[in-house]
Structure 1
Amino acid sequence: MSQVDRFFEQYGPAYKWYATGTIMVATISVVLSTTIVNVAIPAVMGAFGISAVQAQWISTGFLAAMTATMLLADWADRAFGMRLTMNAAMGVFLVGSVVGGLAPNETILTLARVVQGAAAGIVQPLAMIMLFKVFPPDKRGAAMGIYGVCVVLAPALGPWIGGVLMDAFDWRFVFYLGLPFAGVAILLSNLFLPGREQTGPLPAFDFPGVAILAVFLAVILSTLSNAQRLGWDSNMTLVGFMVSAASAAGFILWELHTDKPMLDMRLFANFAFVSASVVSFIMGAGLFGSTYLLPVFVQQIQGMTPTQAGLLLMPSGFVMLIVFPIAGRLSDRVPAAILIGIGMAIFAWSSWLMADANINTTFWTLAWWTVISRVGLGLVFPAISSGALKVLPRHLLGQGSGASNFIRQLGGAFGVNLLTVFIERRTVMHADAFAATQTSDNTTTMELLREVAGLMHSSGLPDTQLLPAAASYLGQTVVIQSSNAAFQDGFMVVFAIFVLALAPTWFMWRART
C-alpha cells in the first residue's frame, strides 16, 4: 500500500481535498512572488538608478531559475519524497524573500529573485504530480480547474495588495507578502503530503544536464539583454550566441545518451505532446510578457500609482476565478485543441485592442481589455495542462509534468527578456523619428512652444527661462510619446505571438484525430 493509499484510508475521500488545499497554499506563495514584483519595477528603477533592461532581470532572473529547477521536481519526489521536497523548497523560498526585502542594491535583489525562482520551480510541478496521484483520470481536468483558482487568485489580489503596501510603506514590503503562505504551506505539508515511497539508495541525478541547462539560460538571456548596449554584431554578442547554441545542442545530446536523463526525450516522440509543448512555450512568452508590460506601462506612461496599477488587474483575476473551474470541467469533455484555439484567439484579440492604448486611455477601458485576455487564458490553462499529460503513459507523467511547466516558463523568461529589449529599441527608434520632425518649420511644434511659454510666463517664470523650459517640456513629451508607441508595438508583438500559436494548436487537433 502506497503512502497516498494510507492517507486515503486515514482521512477517507476528503483526503484529496486536504492534499489539494496544501499544494494550493504553497502555489499561492510562489505565484504571488512571480507577478507582484511587476508593480514595483518602476520604483526599483528609481531606487537603484537602473534602466528598464537592467530592471527586467528582477523578473527574468526569477523565471529563468524557475525554468531550470522545474525539471528537478520529479527526481526530488522520488529521491526524498514530496513532503521533504516541499518543505525544503518553501524554506529556500522564505530565505530568498527575506533577502529580497533587505537587498541593498540591484545585484543582491536579482540574486534573491533567482533563489526565489529556484524554489518556485520545484513547487509547481510537485503540485501537478500530487493532483494526478489523488484524482482519477476522468476528474483531473476539473481538478486542474480548481487548482487553477489559486494560480489566478494570487495574481488578482497580489498586485493590488502590493501596490497598497508600496504606497503606504515601501517597495520592499512586496517581498514579504508571500511569507505567511509559505509558513502555512510547510505546516500543512507535514500533515498531508506523502514521504518517500521508494526504499534503498537515492536515484541517480543528472548533474551535468542541470549544469549545461543553467549555462544555456544564463548566457542566452544575458546576451539578449546586453546586445542592445554592446551591439548585435559585437564580438561579445556573437560569442554569447555561439555558446548558447553549443550548450543547447550539448544539453539535447546529453539527455539523449545519459542513462538517467533530467528531461526524458521519449516525451518528444509523441507528436501530440510536441504540439502542446510549442503552444505552452508561446503561451508562456505572451502571458508573462504581457503581464510584465501592463503595470510598467500604466505607471510610466499614464502616471498611475502602484495601487492603481494593482487595481487594474483585479477584475481580470476575478473573472478567471469564474472561468477556470468551468474550463476545467470542459477540458474533461471537449478536445483540448478546441479550447486552446478559442482561448488563444480571444487573448490575441485583447492584445490587438491593447495595441491602441495611450496616455488618454481610461482605467476601465484598460481593465476591460485585460478581462478579455484573462477569459482567453482561463480557457487555455486547464486544457493545455491536462491535454499535454493525457497523451502520455503513466510512467512518464512525472517527467511530462515537469517538462510541460519547464517549457511554459522557458517561454515566459524569453518573453519578458525579448519584449523589454524590443521596447527599448523601439523607444529609441520612435524618439529619433519624432525628434527629427521637431523643427522650426513644424507649425504644430512652434504653436505648442508658444502656448507652453505663455502659460509659464503667466505663472511668473522669468522671460530668460521661458524658451528653455518650453523646450524641456517638448523633450519630455517626445520621450513619453516614444515610449507609448514602443509599448503599443510590444502589445502588437504579443498579438502576433498568440496568432502564431494557432498553428501548433491545429497540429494538436491533427495528432488527436
Structure 2
Amino acid sequence: MTSDSTEAFFARYGPRYKWLVTATVMMGTISTVLSTTIVNVAMPDIMGAYGMGQDKVQWLATGFLAATTATMLLNAWLVHSFGQRCTYIGAMSLFLAASVLSGNSPNENLLIFYRVLQGAAAGILQPLAMYTLFRVFPPEERGSAMGIYGIGVVLAPALGPALGGVLVDNFSWHYVFYVAVPTSIAGILLANLFMPGREGAGPRAALDWPGFLLLSLFLAALLTGLSNGQREGWTSNYVLSLLGLAGTAGTAFIIRELRASQPMVDLRILANGRFAAAASVAFILGVGLFGSTYLVPLFVQTIQHLTPTQSGLLLMPAGLALGVVFPIAGRLSDRLAPHWPIIAGLFCFGLSSYWMGSVDVNTPFWTLAWWILAGRIGLGLIMPSLNAGALRALDPALLGQGSGVINFIRQLGGAFGVNLLSVFLDRRSFFYSDALTATQTAANSATAEFARAVGGLLVQAGTPQDLQLPGALYYLGRTIYLQASTMAFRDSFLLVALVFFAAMLPAWLMGRTKEA
C-alpha cells in the first residue's frame, strides 16, 4: 500500500476521508457545471459586443459541450496512466487558465476557442468526480453519494444564471467567466492534500489516438453542419459535406473501438441491458437539462425583456428546491429500484416543459418560476438514481469505463439539445413569421384596425404625416416578429416535453433487467 493510495488516506483520516475527498472533487464539478450555463444570460450582451448572430453565439454553449463530450472518454486512460491527483490538478489548471482567457478575449473567435478549452477540461473533471465517489463510498451508500454529486451537476446550472445576471447587470459580461476562478483554485489546493496518486507501478497504457481524433471529427463536423444548415441551406454542398463527413467519422469510430485491443471506450459495455437503458435516459436528460437552460433565459430576455438579473433569479427557487430534493432522492435510490424515481422525475420534467409550451409575453414571473421548479424537482429525482442504477449494473472493474460513458452520453445529449433546439427555434420562427405575414393584407379587417389605431397614436404624438404609415407598418412588423418568436418558443418547449415523456420507456426497461 503506497503512502498516497486511497487505503492510506483512509488509514490517515479515518471515515471522514470520504467527505474530505468529496469536498475536493465537488470543487471541480461546481466550477465546470457552473460555467456550462452561466454564459447563457450573458449571450445577448456578448452578441451586442461582437456583432454576433444567434447561429454563432450558440457555439459558446455548443462548443463547450462538444469539447466536454469528446474528452470525457479520456478520463479512464488518464486516471490509469497518471493517477487521480495528477489528472485532477492538470484538468483544473487548464480550466482555470481558459476561464481567465475567456474573460479577456479580444474577439469572438478567440472567445469560442477558449470556451472549447474550458469544455475539454470539464470533460475530464466530471466523470473523475463520479469515479472518485464510487471508490470511497461503500455500495450501500452510493445512492447518497450520487445525490451529493448531483447537487453540483444540477444545482450549479440552476443558481449560475442568477449569479451571472447580477454580474452582467452590475459589472460586465466578462465577469461571468471569472466566477469559477475561486473554486478552481480551491480544488487544486485540496487535491494536493486529499486526492490519491497513481495506483500501481506498471507501464502506462497506450492512448487510442485514432479513436479520439475520429470522435472529435464526428462531433465537430456534425454540430457545425447542423448549426449552419439554416443559414447555408440544408441541401447546400457545404452542409451536406459536413454531415457526410460526420457520418463517415462516426462509423469509423465505432468500427475502430470494436476492433482496437485497447479502445478508448469499450462499446461492449452497452451490451449490458440495464446500463444501455440508463444511457438512453442519460442522453435525453442532457437534451432537456441543457436545452431548457438555454431556452429559458433567451425567452425571458428577448420576448419578455427581463434583465439578466431577473432572468437568472427566475431559476433561483428551482435551485433552492434542488438543495432539498437531492439528499432525499439520494437516500431513495439506496432503498428503491432505480427506475421508479427516474420515471417520476421524467414525468415531472415533461409536465414542466408542457406547461412552458403555453408561455407568452404576459406570463407572470412567478408562474414561470413555479413551472421551472417542477422540472428541476424532476431532475433531482432522476440524477442520483440514474447514476447509481447505471453503475450498479456493471462489474467493479468497469466502473471507470462506466462513469466515463454515462457522463459522455449525458453531455452528448446536452450538445445535441442546445444545437438542435437552436435550429428548431430558428426554423419555427421563420415558419410562423411567413405564415403571419401572409395574412396581413388590406382585406384583413383586424390588420386595418390595428394600423388605424397605431396611426392615431402617432398623430397624438405629433408624428409627421409622411411618417405615420411607415411607423404603423414598422410596429406591425415588430408585433408579428414577437408573436412568431413566442410561438416558436412554445413549440420548442413542447418538443422537450415530448422527448421526456418518451424517455419513460427506457427508464421502465431499466427495471426489467438484472443488476450485475
**Which bin holds the TM-score, normalised by the shorter protein?**
over 0.9
Match in the other structure for 2:242: 240
The amino acid of 2:11's aligned partner reads: E
Structure 2 alignment gaps of length 5 or more: none
Match in the other structure for 1:258: 260
Match in the other structure for 1:283: 285
Match in the other structure for 1:55: 57
Match in the other structure for 2:121: 119
Residues 1:231 and 2:218 are matched in the alignment: no
Residues 1:408 and 2:410 are matched in the alignment: yes
Residues 1:393 and 2:395 are matched in the alignment: yes
Alpha carbons 1:152, 1:321 under 8 Å: kept: no
Q: 1 CA distance for matches of 2:461 and 2:380? A: 52
Alpha carbons 1:327, 1:379 under 8 Å: kept: yes
Among 161, 164, 177, the alignment partner of 2:163 is 161
The amino acid of 2:83's aligned partner reads: G
1:3-32 CA-to-partner distances (Å, cap 9, x unmatched) read 111101111110000000011112111111
The amino acid of 1:475's aligned partner reads: G
Among 439, 442, 456, the alignment partner of 1:440 is 442
Between the two proteins, the alignment pairs up a number of residues equal to 513
Q: 2 CA distance for matches of 1:511 and 1:53? A: 42
Match in the other structure for 1:472: 474
Of residues 380-389 and 500-509 in structure 1, the stretch that sits farther from structure 2 once superposed is: 500-509
1:424-457 CA-to-partner distances (Å, cap 9, x unmatched) read 0110010000101111111111212112121122
> What does 1:90-489 align with in structure 2 at a 5 Å threshold?
90-489=92-491
Q: 1 CA distance for matches of 2:456 and 2:265? A: 67
1:467-502 CA-to-partner distances (Å, cap 9, x unmatched) read 111111111111111111111110011011101111
Q: 2 CA distance for matches of 1:218 and 1:151? A: 24
| 1:64 shift after superposition | 0.2
Q: What SS class does the counterpart of residue 98 from structure 1 fall into?
A: helix
**Identical residues among aligned pairs (%):** 54
Among 24, 33, 36, the alignment partner of 1:34 is 36
Q: 1 CA distance for matches of 2:117 and 2:324? A: 33
Q: What SS class does the counterpart of residue 149 from structure 2 fall into?
A: helix
Q: 1 CA distance for matches of 2:99 and 2:447? A: 49
1:231-280 CA-to-partner distances (Å, cap 9, x unmatched) read 21222222222211111111111111111111112211211111111111
Give the superposed CA RMSD.
1.1
Q: 1 CA distance for matches of 2:304 and 2:355? A: 17
TM-score by length of 1: 0.98
1:115-143 CA-to-partner distances (Å, cap 9, x unmatched) read 00000001110101110111001100011
Match in the other structure for 1:508: 510
1:20-59 CA-to-partner distances (Å, cap 9, x unmatched) read 0011112111111011011111111222222212111110
Q: 2 CA distance for matches of 1:425 and 1:22? A: 44
Structure 1 alignment gaps of length 5 or more: none
1:178-233 CA-to-partner distances (Å, cap 9, x unmatched) read 11110111000101001111213322111111000000000000011111122212
Q: 2 CA distance for matches of 1:423 and 1:486? A: 6
Q: 2 CA distance for matches of 1:282 and 1:237? A: 25
| 1:411 shift after superposition | 0.6
1:411-434 CA-to-partner distances (Å, cap 9, x unmatched) read 110010000001001100100001
Q: 1 CA distance for matches of 2:155 and 2:283? A: 23
Q: 1 CA distance for matches of 2:509 and 2:19? A: 35
Q: What SS class does the counterpart of residue 304 from structure 1 fall into?
A: coil
